[in-house]
Amino acid sequence: MTAAEMLERLVGFATVSRDSNLDLIAFVESYLDGHGVKHWRVESDDGKKANLLARIGPEAVGGVVLSGHTDVVPVAGQPWSTDPFTLIDKGDGKLYGRGTCDMKGFIACALAEVPAWTKLELHAPIYLAFSYDEEVGCIGAPRMIERLMADHPLPSAVIVGEPTMMQPVVAHKGATNLRTTVTGRASHSSQVDQGVSAIHVAARLVTKIEDVMHELRAEGRIDEAFNVAHSSLHVGKIAGGTAINIMARECTFEWEIRHLPQDRFEDLIGRVNAFAAELEAEMQRKAPETRIVTEPLNETVPALADDNNAEVLDLCRELLGEQPHGAVAYATEAGQFQRVGLPTVICGPGSIRQAHQPDEYIEIEQLAAGTRFMQALGRRLASR
């Protein structure tokens, strides 16, 4: 099965994050069984989703982990010109479908090479590590990484195959999603002295969140390796109030912090929380029942730092030829692998510019480049 044929099968599974990925996992398990490859499921608590670990080659220290997520973002409301869950070749050098570049293309390249890998005398293993729920906060990977570290010999490198046009990426920002709920006191809008508007208070806090980002830039907390060279704070959703003539009792907004590897999430949210505490004290002097509560919507996805990666970076250059390396603003599971001490880089086929878009595609040449990479990896691990 070629990488394109494998990608056609994978795209056909509508593994949107809100839904189960078990049909795709079962397909991959059956495929691996057909080639005598050992594999292990690592399920979610409710059993509706699963990670999949597999090992080709010896049970030995070293080797390379190829990591990819099986979930994709929704297509609802997007103006697709084709069925997003049917791989389409329009004859323009591109393959269209949800997940083609983000990131079933990488998974397809790896799986298509399994038959050839099993015929090689590998002196170090190739691990496949396929996760669930990356798109909603990198939720599935930590328990898969825990199982990898507990039950298998220590790998020497991890390559996370997010779309990078097959150029190594050595750093990315961390990410945390948050929800803040402001509870005020409702009153008739003609009696503003009686109430506390949750919307007005929330507006002040939202403005502060943006101010913190500007403060970081003014303090010189900059890393030019990133196209957005500072930690970013952004409010994406807000809702509150019941009527134009009622002072709002509640307002809720959802926001994010994307922090540079050298910044700490705790420090950045601390600035926001300090201002929120001032606002809450001001509110409670007028109405003791009022409050401001911020809660995380996901465990902080750790940043990937350009650190302890010389060996895996050299491996990528050996397999790909001399390539520039860089940093990206989006978060991935790479920081979670690095957090447990595994040297990690990001490198995969396709462009992040196509990710999450209607008519998402991967260039056929990028799929071919991913295939060449997998072939070279097998040869490298079979040589001494």
Describe the crossing of helices 22-33 and 105-118 by its angle, rounded to 10 degrees. 20
Dihedral of CA atoms 84, 85, 90, 91 in degrees, nearest 10, equals 140
Active-site residue (options: 134, 263, 280, 359)? 134
Active-site residue (options: 8, 29, 71, 333)? 71
Task: Locate 215 and state its tokens.
Answer: 């403060």
In this structure, are residues 96 and 359 in contact, taking their beta carbons and an 8 Å threshold? Answer: yes
Tokens 């830039």 identify what position? 217
* CA of residue 384 relative to chain centroid, distance: 35
How many residues make up the chain in this entry?
A: 384
Q: Is 45 left (phi over 0), alpha (psi -120 to 50) or beta?
A: alpha
Rounded distance between C-alpha atoms, residue 69 and residue 99, angstroms: 10
Q: Is 193 designated active site?
A: no
- Please say whether the dihedral angle defined by the alpha carbons of residues 78, 82, 88 and 93, taken in this order, is positive or negative: negative
Q: Is 211 designated active site?
A: no
Bridge partner residues of 345 (DSSP): 159
The alpha carbons of the chain give a radius of gyration, in whole angstroms, of 23
Strands 174-183 and 250-259: what pairing? antiparallel
Rounded distance between C-alpha atoms, residue 307 and residue 177, angstroms: 25
Rounded distance between C-alpha atoms, residue 59 and residue 352, angstroms: 34
Q: Is 253 left (phi over 0), alpha (psi -120 to 50) or beta?
A: beta
Q: Which residues are catalytic?
A: 71, 134
